[in-house]
């Protein structure tokens, strides 16, 4: 007999894994379809110090604990899969995978997460992997005793800048505004770090070098003055774009291409829910993703009970 899951979850980040934990523990047959590595953006976080009930850890360890919990409760995990066709209008939701397999479910939770936003300046594409990075945890040790730039002014930028001082000899934070958007405690910690310098009201306009990045052109926004800074690497933390490519024809998205949901993580389509960094919301933290996934799973369970 053809397998039809109670819940199909698209994405294996904190939101998707949390949904998988709750739905599978609730005795609903559950499968997670995940295109990349489990943990999503969380695995790129060098330090997690504010996850309630958990002492200082890193995103990779936390994500793998979530993955194990979901699996132990009976959630099926399908990794490295790519969905090429969605049919979520009917009572039974159908997903066609690139390898020809078909996955069906009575409900679906989109937890597709986000991806780093790019600077979109000359040289960025050329030096990705050769000096340009979006993950301090992944690439920090490649810049031991080197001078690097961190782009951004939010919590991620300042926290990762601090983490990168364990490797780099000097970290310069370049931010386009005259103030940071991070929490006060995060700002204080960054300013107290003797290995961190700041260039405010400025932006990168071009990256140059040979086989690897060597210089960054920096524009002081108020004056328009452009100058050159020698550099060994650059880390970009200017937010994330939602992974909703291809969903705009089947789900209601806002102008930022984020999935629109209500307080119960319901979309406008029956049996279709969404959670995490792919939805329209203000705050994006591991804890908020976990909360979204929990609510989505409980809402999906309620939907299944009433249909």
pLDDT in tens, 142-181: 999 999 999 999 998 999 999 999 999 999 999 999 999 9
Grade residue 293 by pLDDT with cuts at 50, 70 and 90. very high
Q: Are residues 219 and 129 in the same domain?
A: yes
Q: Are residues 136 and 230 in the same domain?
A: yes
Compute the chain's Rg from CA coordinates.
21
Q: Are residues 83 and 182 in the same domain?
A: no
Q: Are residues 229 and 271 in the same domain?
A: no
Of 236, 255, 278, the one marking the end of a domain is 236
- Pick the catalytic residue: 6, 139, 232, 277? 139
Q: Are residues 219 and 251 in the same domain?
A: no
Tally of domains in the chain: 2
Residues 6+ apart with CB under 8 A from 201: 175, 176, 177, 178, 220, 221, 222
Measured in whole angstroms, how far is the alpha carbon of residue 256 from the centre of its chain? 15
- Pick the catalytic residue: 72, 138, 178, 248? 138
Q: Is the dihedral of CA 222, 223, 224, 225 positive or negative?
A: negative
Q: For residue 63, what are the domain limits?
A: 5-115+240-305
CA distance 277 to 288: 9
Q: Are residues 228 and 268 in the same domain?
A: no
Of 236, 271, 296, the one marking the end of a domain is 236
Q: What are phi and psi of 63, to 5 degrees?
A: -65, -40
CA distance 175 to 199: 6
Q: Are residues 145 and 213 in the same domain?
A: yes
pTM > 0.85: yes or no:
no
Q: Are residues 107 and 156 in the same domain?
A: no
- Residue 258's nearest CA partner among 281, 239, 237, 236 is 281
CATH assignment at residue 53 = 3.50.50.60
CA distance 281 to 276: 9
CA distance 272 to 292: 14
Q: Are residues 109 and 30 in the same domain?
A: yes
Active site residue 138: yes
Active site residue 139: yes
- pLDDT at site 56: 86
Q: Are residues 63 and 96 in the same domain?
A: yes
Active site residue 232: no
- Residue 11's nearest CA partner among 91, 83, 118 is 83
pLDDT digits (tens, 9 = 90+) for 266-284: 999 999 999 999 999 988 8
Of 236, 254, 284, the one marking the end of a domain is 236
pLDDT digits (tens, 9 = 90+) for 68-115: 999 999 999 999 999 999 999 999 999 999 999 999 999 999 999 988
Q: Are residues 92 and 154 in the same domain?
A: no
Q: Are residues 126 and 162 in the same domain?
A: yes
Grade residue 116 by pLDDT with cuts at 50, 70 and 90. confident
* Complete DSSP assignment for 15-78: HHHHHHHHHHHTT--EEEE-SS-TTGGGGG-S-B--STT--SB-HHHHHHHHHHHHHHTT-EEE
How far is CA 291 from each of CA 131, 257, 284, 287, rounded to the nearest angstrom? 35, 21, 11, 6
């Amino acid at each position: 007999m053809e397998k039809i899951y109670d819940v199909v979850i698209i994405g294996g980040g904190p939101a998707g894994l949390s949904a998988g934990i709750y739905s599978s523990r609730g005795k609903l047959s559950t499968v997670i379809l995940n295109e990349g590595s489990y943990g999503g953006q969380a695995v790129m976080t060098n330090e997690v110090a504010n996850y309630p009930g958990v002492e200082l850890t890193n995103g990779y360890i936390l994500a793998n604990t979530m993955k194990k919990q979901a699996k132990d409760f009976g959630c099926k995990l399908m990794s490295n899969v790519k969905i090429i066709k969605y049919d979520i209008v009917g009572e039974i939701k159908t997903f066609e995978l690139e390898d020809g397999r078909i996955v069906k479910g009575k409900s679906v939770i989109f937890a597709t997460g986000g991806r780093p936003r790019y600077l979109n300046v000359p040289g960025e594409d050329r030096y990705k992997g050769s000096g340009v990075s979006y993950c301090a945890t992944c690439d920090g040790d490649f810049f031991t005793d080197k001078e690097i730039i961190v782009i951004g002014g939010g919590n991620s930028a300042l926290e990762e800048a601090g983490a990168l001082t364990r490797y780099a000899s000097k970290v310069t934070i370049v931010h386009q505004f005259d103030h940071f958007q991070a929490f006060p405690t995060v700002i204080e910690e960054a300013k107290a770090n003797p290995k961190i310098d700041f260039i405010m009201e400025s932006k990168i306009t071009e990256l140059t070098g040979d086989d690897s990045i060597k210089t960054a052109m920096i524009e002081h926004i108020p004056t328009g003055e452009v100058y050159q800074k020698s550099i060994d690497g650059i880390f970009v933390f200017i937010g994330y774009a939602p992974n909703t490519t291809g969903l705009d024809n089947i789900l209601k998205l806002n102008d930022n291409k984020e999935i629109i949901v209500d307080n119960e993580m319901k979309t406008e389509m029956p049996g279709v829910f969404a959670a995490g960094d792919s939805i329209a919301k203000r705050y994006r933290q591991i804890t908020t993703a976990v909360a979204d996934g929990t609510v989505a799973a409980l809402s999906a369970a309620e939907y299944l009970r009433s249909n």
